[in-house]
Amino acid sequence: MMRTHYCGQVTETLEGQQVTVSGWVHRRRDHGGVIFIDLRDREGLVQVVVNPGNDAMFNIAERVRSEYVLKVQGKVCARTPETINPKMTTGKIEIVADDLEVLSAAEPIPFQLDDKHISEEVRLTYRYLDLRRDEMQEALRTRYRVTRSMRRYLDDNGFMDMETPILTKSTPEGARDYLVPSRTHPNKFFALPQSPQLFKQLLMMSGFDRYYQITRCFRDEDLRADRQPEFTQLDIETSFMTEEEVMDMMEGLTKTIFRDGVDVNFDYDFPRMTYAEAIEKYGIDRPDLRIPLQLVDVADLLQDIEFKVFAGPAKDPMGRVAALRVPQGGQLSRKEIDDYTKFVGIYGAKGLAYIKVNDLSAGLDGLQSPIVKFFPDQAMEIMERVGAEDGDIVFFGADKAKIVNEALGALRCKIGEDLDMIEREWAPVWVVDFPMFEMDEKTARMTAIHHPFTQPKATTEEILNHDAPHQMLSRAYDLVINGIEVGGGSVRIHDTHMQAAVLKMLGISDEEAEEKFGFLLNALKYGCPPHAGMAFGLDRLVMLMAKRDSIRDVIAFPKTQSAACMLTDAPGLVDNAQMADLELRFRKSLTEKQAD
Amino acid sequence: MMRTHYCGQVTETLEGQQVTVSGWVHRRRDHGGVIFIDLRDREGLVQVVVNPGNDAMFNIAERVRSEYVLKVQGKVCARTPETINPKMTTGKIEIVADDLEVLSAAEPIPFQLDDKHISEEVRLTYRYLDLRRDEMQEALRTRYRVTRSMRRYLDDNGFMDMETPILTKSTPEGARDYLVPSRTHPNKFFALPQSPQLFKQLLMMSGFDRYYQITRCFRDEDLRADRQPEFTQLDIETSFMTEEEVMDMMEGLTKTIFRDGVDVNFDYDFPRMTYAEAIEKYGIDRPDLRIPLQLVDVADLLQDIEFKVFAGPAKDPMGRVAALRVPQGGQLSRKEIDDYTKFVGIYGAKGLAYIKVNDLSAGLDGLQSPIVKFFPDQAMEIMERVGAEDGDIVFFGADKAKIVNEALGALRCKIGEDLDMIEREWAPVWVVDFPMFEMDEKTARMTAIHHPFTQPKATTEEILNHDAPHQMLSRAYDLVINGIEVGGGSVRIHDTHMQAAVLKMLGISDEEAEEKFGFLLNALKYGCPPHAGMAFGLDRLVMLMAKRDSIRDVIAFPKTQSAACMLTDAPGLVDNAQMADLELRFRKSLTEKQAD
């Protein structure tokens, strides 16, 4: 037997007992002819004392280095009062070794585990060492606590954990599918799923009523900061539940996992906000409500002024003129304002107008601004509308609505963080009443904002005859926490005619619809229950809960931003025999490519 | 709200109450001017009564057909005594409808759900209908109960559920890997894992101590009867545990899932048997111990007889001569014996010698056999050794050991079933002391029976200098139930030199070892704990527990035997743009292939 107790669990309750522990040498110190070893396992550290006397054992102890794996037998003894370490669970005792065995030697490791300045590349190459660090252990333990809590909640609420295929068919967003050739089907490919959407809908049509799965999804795309080619989703679907019921159930889930995962208790109902309100007040559909700043529309006041920079967007149906009041922002320096001007430039804003509110009782004279002269008659009304007080600054955005929303939306978060305005640790909000469709500017085609299986707030007739489809709302809902979309879902279409109408609206021909979704359109004919569901992005959710900066910190073996695995060196080259088996060849050989 | 109760849960305790239920029309009967609808949901059936009077409602009821989805509001009323159905949970009541709403209409379905003669092809094409059947609902519910029970047991024993990559690197058995090309890495491929073996070992090196995952694995191979290209594994790894401790823990797991999954209680320790004993007595390393028949070696008695058919194999070190006694098998007819002779022919046996035991007290005269004349001096000793009694038959196999083992091993199961000799419902057994290596007859290379990361029962020195490597045992263990291998595992190598020695033994060059396993050999240098683990084949295990004939019956959306999905028609063709994106082309075009 290699252990009777975990290192981190040997406490004063065991005083006087013989124990066996196994673990890694975290630190070795020689002091006054005695060797002290901090032995580490999953549960923590314990101090092992090796006294001279037993030469064989002492020689072993002298030989061990950091990260050696040892088995220690010994007696649990109280430490002397002056050597007690109150910070450690095991700090009142030490194990006086009777026997010591090296289970595995260790070469000097390539970096010190507690060195904070190791590049992520090195950490990922030696992931098995990186994962030994306390904070990585805790991050992955949090992930486990979260998934375990999810499962228990869903089990307790009558959901069944069910599996759906990983080798499946290319989907609507097929351009991002990973394709998988197969020896048994030359010239054909499986696709890895971007989500189990259609299969979970089919499970509802099969009568399983409540489904969940914590499952891997895949997307082969240019990798942005916090994306992984494979990611994990908590995927949920229910029958005979309305969106209200689903949101209530999922809110309960969210509260439960926060309690079990990170000891956070929400004792209030999550607020709900329409998409329109989110855009109006926060410029974004995933508002960070920890920050109290809000955008205020002022276009109506500025349509008739001469100052074209404001009047133009104010009159443009696609334009927006909005103000962002920053309480006590009057203290911002010229330099800071210039930096914010550059910052909004990232989002396409051509400038950043502002008014410093020095003394409201002095009227216009109390406003310090390069622009107030352009709308002297409206300035005080704007101040009143935004609720300005002495000492504030009010920023303005005027441009296409998209630019104003993105620029001021980002600015409010940046200023909120810079000026330490974050009022609370957690700010969850449900966003509802999303538009069903949006125009893809590149392709000039209508696309579904959630996905084409979401139910519009309209009848089939209305869908087919709608004259302003971009105004049509959907029965979708997103859960946003601290400005991060942690989950989203919708009521699905459960009628084959409505589904066909939506596909038509998306410019999908009948032939293409039949080819890609024929099985779904068919299945919808044989008695489909009303159904609704949701999916949570597990990686991002755990990152948020564990307060980590990257999803790579909550994934045991993540890919880099270029979608490679530093540890195993995947993806890799394959030999010609494997290619021949698949009846494939490369468009260009590797040497041709290198010559390019 | 679409329901207050599940259909199957409306019982007499609700008598007099208003309820709302939703579900599928299972059956509609018109009787005496009243319409009776059996409404079905996940939890069962309830009888809905629609009385005439409310014309609108009655008209709807007249219109509904099988598999329509309805919402029904009504009052729970006791049935009259003569209409009580004691077989149904809801058999004492009926719901008298006040309101009826069609949530979804249904076209006539392509087959009747209770029709037992529907081909599997049709069932898989309309899987969402097939899954509505009681027995499919129950099979998948059993699967869920099993996985839930596994998780609880492992959670309670300190195991952490952790995820490992699906997009990974091609492994030793690379020839069967599914490969995945990627836009971001032209000419390179990910591989889908055949198991998370190396990642779970790395997690042990990372200090996570106890890991589990219910995870998908992949194998692109010619599909045998009960194989799927993607299959699910309960994957487990532990640090600082011996094989005895792992087997005890896994035996506890197995007992727990049988109790929770199918209400079977094992109140005894699972027997353990060496590989050598299994082969000797049952001819196979996964013996079906429900059947009491055993093989008995008799070669030592027959080496010196003139009858070459027996003496040859008896003298051959690679040969075997074994007897299989079938109690009361003397009643088998000539025709039945001929059929068994054909049956063993499948396994390469050239014949099936036998002795019918008519009357032991009469000596040789009491034995009826075409062959007993060839070994008159040994026949009675053989009878004694196999424990023959009057009325028995004793079969013989004499050939290369492999053929005798396979032929008589299969024959004992076949006869056991034919003659109704199955003594108990469940017969679990641990098989241990497997050989570490075997010779692959095709390639004449040594291969690892479990996998190359299994620890041999030998030191590194012994491995490098072994003169009979096929005799070396490994620290592997398999769990076999009713002749099915439901799981297997081993103590792993935790020393880089031993790992290198085993790879060398397998004929893997240093370069290839470095290329394929460099990261593992490296990781083993930095303090690797002794570790051991196991994997259960979930599909097969649930099939066994649920007493189904095919793993396809316990998978929601299985592939056919030709590795295709009938429902979605995967794998499918992809367009040229997708191929170009991947910088791939086909070796032959589809038209060229068709012309072949």
Angle at B137 between CA B135 and CA B141, to 5 degrees: 115
Average pLDDT for residues B256-267, to the nearest whole number?
98
pLDDT tens column, B416-458: 999 999 989 999 999 999 999 998 878 888 899 999 999 999 9
Query: Does the distance separating the beta carbons of A2 and B104 come in below 8 Å?
Result: no
Q: Is B364 on the interface with A (CB under 8 A)?
A: no
Residue ranges of chain B assigned to CATH 3.30.1360.30: 291-423
Q: Which two tokens stand for residue A109?
A: 């490791």
CB A210 within 8 A of CB A238: yes
Q: Which two tokens stand for residue A183?
A: 């020896």
Query: Does the distance separating the beta carbons of A206 and B127 come in below 8 Å?
Result: yes
Over chain A (596 residues), what is each successive 10-residue block's mean pLDDT? 97 97 97 96 97 94 97 97 95 97 97 90 96 96 98 98 95 76 87 95 98 96 78 98 97 98 98 98 98 97 95 96 97 97 97 97 95 95 97 98 98 96 96 93 86 96 88 97 97 97 93 91 98 98 96 96 91 82 73 51
What pLDDT is recorded for position A411?
A: 98
In A179-333, alpha helices (H): 197-205, 243-262, 275-282, 299-302, 308-315
- A7-104: CATH topology is OB fold (Dihydrolipoamide Acetyltransferase, E2P) (2.40.50)
Task: Calculate the alpha carbon distances from A44 to A23, A105, A146, B13, B569 in Å.
Answer: 10, 20, 21, 53, 52
Residue ranges of chain A assigned to CATH 2.40.50.140: 7-104
pLDDT at B220 exceeding the cut of 90: no
Split at pLDDT 50, 70, 90, the class of B171 is low
Q: Which CATH superfamily is domain B291-423 in?
A: GAD-like domain (3.30.1360.30)
Q: Is A571 on the interface with B (CB under 8 A)?
A: yes
CB A544 within 8 A of CB A481: yes
Query: Does the distance separating the beta carbons of B525 and A107 come in below 8 Å?
Result: yes
Size of interface A-B (CB pairs under 8 A): 362
Map A325-363 to HEC letters: EECCHHHCCHHHHHHHHHHHHCCCCCCCEEEEECCHHHH
Q: Which two tokens stand for residue B582?
A: 């991947």
From CA A137, how far away is CA A146, in angstroms rounded? 14
What pLDDT is recorded for position A591?
A: 55
> Please, which residues have CB within 8 angstroms of residue B518's CB and are 6 or more apart in sequence?
none
Which among B68, B242, B574 has the least Cβ separation from residue A189? B574
Q: Is A186 on the interface with B (CB under 8 A)?
A: yes
What pLDDT is recorded for position B574?
A: 82
Name every chain B residue with its beta carbon within 8 A of the beta carbon of A514: none
- Return the residue matching tokens 């009867």: B225
From CA B78, how far away is CA B12, in angstroms rounded? 7
A369 Cα to chain B: minimum distance (Å): 50
What pLDDT is recorded for position A585?
A: 79
Name every chain B residue with its beta carbon within 8 A of the beta carbon of A189: 571-574
Name every chain A residue with its beta carbon within 8 A of the beta carbon of B128: 202-203, 205-206, 523, 526
Provide the ipTM.
Answer: 0.95
From CA B406, how far away is CA B401, in angstroms rounded? 8
What pLDDT is recorded for position A172?
A: 56
Count helices and strands in chain A by DSSP H and E runs: 18, 23
Of A81-95, B220-234, B317-331, B526-540, which gets the smallest average pLDDT?
B220-234
Q: How many other CB atoms are found less than 10 A from the CB of residue A532?
A: 27
What pLDDT is recorded for position A596?
A: 46
Q: Which residues lie across from A75 on neighbouring strands? A: A18, A96
pLDDT tens column, B136-166: 999 999 999 999 999 999 999 999 999 999 9
Q: Which A residues in the span 108-127 are in contact with B, Cβ-Cβ below 8 Å?
A: 109, 126-127
Name every chain B residue with its beta carbon within 8 A of the beta carbon of A526: 67, 106-107, 109, 126, 128-129
DSSP string of B504-559, one letter each residue: HHTT--HHHHHHHHHHHHHHTTBTPPPEEEEEEEHHHHHHHHTT-S-GGGGSSS--
From CA A516, how far away is CA A196, in angstroms rounded? 15
Name every chain B residue with its beta carbon within 8 A of the beta carbon of A574: 170, 179, 188-189
A348 is in an annotated binding site: no
φ/ψ region of A55 (left if φ > 0, alpha if ψ in -120 to 50, else beta) reads alpha
From CA A432, how far away is CA B531, in angstroms rounded? 50
The crossing angle, in degrees rounded to 10, of helices B197-205 and B510-523 is 40
Which among B132, B573, B584 has the least Cβ separation from residue A206? B132
Q: Which B residues in the span 133-152 are in contact with A, Cβ-Cβ below 8 Å?
A: 137, 140-141, 143-144, 147-148, 151
From CA B381, how far away is CA B368, in angstroms rounded? 16
Split at pLDDT 50, 70, 90, the class of B596 is very low
A431 phi, psi to nearest 5 deg: -105, 130
Query: Does the distance separating the beta carbons of A528 and B199 come in below 8 Å?
Result: no
Query: Does the distance separating the beta carbons of B569 and A169 come in below 8 Å?
Result: yes
